[in-house]
Amino acid sequence: MKDFLGKTAFITGGAKGIGLAMATVFAREGMNVVIGDMDNDQLDEAESKLRQITNHILAINVDVTDRSALENVSDQIRQRFGPLHVLCNNAGIGGGQRVLETPDDMWRRVEEVNFWGPINGIKVFLPDMLGHGENGHIVNTASFSGIEGHGHQSAYGASKFAVVGLSEFLSNDLADTSISVSVLCPHVVDTPILDSLKSRLTAEHLKLLEKMAVPSMTVAEQVLSAIKQQEFYVFCDGNDTRKMLEKRSEKLLGAMNRQFPKGENA
Ligand SMILES: NC(=O)c1ccc[n+]([C@@H]2O[C@H](COP(=O)([O-])OP(=O)(O)OC[C@H]3O[C@@H](n4cnc5c(N)ncnc54)[C@H](O)[C@@H]3O)[C@@H](O)[C@H]2O)c1
């Protein structure tokens, strides 16, 4: 997509953090912006912030785990703005420690929001996006935790690996269509989701985290650029993250080389 003026975007989890930043960037491009979130107070606050940029704003209370509620959102968007062009499946929650320490209900809730949320969004909105024939884009918010399994945030990380996988298959499905796909994989972004983590850190680790954290508006600009350039993976951080990715890639290739040295699998 190159043309944003007068087009319509829907962002889940759009009332704060990365979602609100994406909504802000899209509004500045002249888009009609719809934010969906479960948090009413934050929705009101976000709506008035966005109205300082444009009046083409709709803020809707919705839980992404509820597919019929998303269908209702789809009707509201169609009535108010017409066809949808950009879908950002962004709502997400943290959760999970070591696998054995993570209760089943936490595994289920995190998967329900972080993985089923995007599936619900795709199932509800994609048929119409394909049907109207105009160029469009889907952004699924995963995480760098869905690219490399660091630490012990089991339920969260597993859900984000699933979102990366979902996005890769979706991108295959949509290869010859008017809709393209990106998967957003930031490592640490300065948003309210980090608040509970921050409260558990030592002063030294807190300083490190704050040094690593990327502003949410930077991430949103990277998303806009990825949509314009049709880039699939959206990475948002610099050197430390690259080293983690290199280490994982070396491990994968190392394992393959041990089993099939010098192209014996050819
Ligand atoms: N902040 C980071 O460091 C970071 C890093 C990588 C990935 N992410 C991902 O980015 C996305 C946005 O995170 P953020 O940092 O902006 O967090 P945030 O907590 O600031 O914002 C998330 C928003 O999603 C909403 N939400 C939660 N569950 C919902 C549901 N079931 N239905 C509708 N809305 C719901 C919340 O009310 C909130 O407004 C998440 O998917 C998160 O996993 C964040």
pLDDT value at residue 263: 67
pLDDT at res. 103: 98
Atom 29 of ligand 1, residue of closest alpha carbon? 91
Which residue minimizes the CA distance to atom 25 of ligand 1?
13
266 inside domain: no
154 is a domain residue: yes
- Counting ligand 1 atoms within 8 A of each CB, the residue from 12, 18, 190 with the most, and so the one to mutate, is 18
Tens of pLDDT along 165-185?
999 999 999 999 999 999 999
In the predicted model, what is the mean pLDDT of residues 148-175?
97
- Checking if the pLDDT of 238 tops 80, the result is no
Residue-range definition of the domain harbouring residue 180: 8-238
Q: What is the pLDDT of residue 15?
A: 98
The predicted structure's pLDDT at residue 65: 98
Q: pLDDT grade, residue 36 (50/70/90)?
A: very high
- Ligand 1 centroid to residue 26 C-alpha, Å: 18
- For 144-194, the DSSP string reads GGGTS--TT-HHHHHHHHHHHHHHHHHHHHTTTSSEEEEEE--S-EESGGG
Integer Cα distance of 81 and 86 in angstroms: 13
Task: Report the pLDDT value the prediction gives residue 266, as an integer from 0 to 100.
Answer: 55
Structure token digits, residue 24: 């802000």
Ligand 1 centroid distance, CA of 159 (Å): 13
* pTM confidence score: 0.96
- The answer on pLDDT for 196 being more than 80 is no
Q: Taking each helix axis from N to C terminus, what angle separates 154-173 and 104-111, rounded to the nearest 10 degrees?
A: 30
Assigned domain for 84 exists: yes
What token pair was written down for 226?
């990825």
Residue 46 lies in a domain: yes
Residue 215 included in any domain: yes
Of the candidate ranges 4-13, 25-34, 48-57, 257-266, the one whose mean pLDDT is the lowest: 257-266
Share the mean pLDDT of the chain. 95
Higher pLDDT, 5 or 204: 5
Whether the per-residue pLDDT at 98 is higher than 80: the answer is: yes
Does residue 258 form part of some domain? no
Q: Is 70 exceeded by the pLDDT of residue 264?
A: no
Q: How many domains does the chain have?
A: 1
Residue 265: pLDDT band with limits 50, 70, 90: low
Q: Is residue 252 part of a domain?
A: no
Rounded percentage of the chain residues whose pLDDT exceeds 90:
88
**Ligand 1 centroid from CA 219, angstroms:** 13
Higher per-residue confidence, 138 vs 195: 138
Share of the chain above pLDDT 70, in %: 98
Atom of ligand 1 nearest to the CA of 192: 20
Residue 221 belongs to domain with CATH number? 3.40.50.720
Q: Does residue 1 lie in a domain region?
A: no
- Residues taking part in catalysis: 156
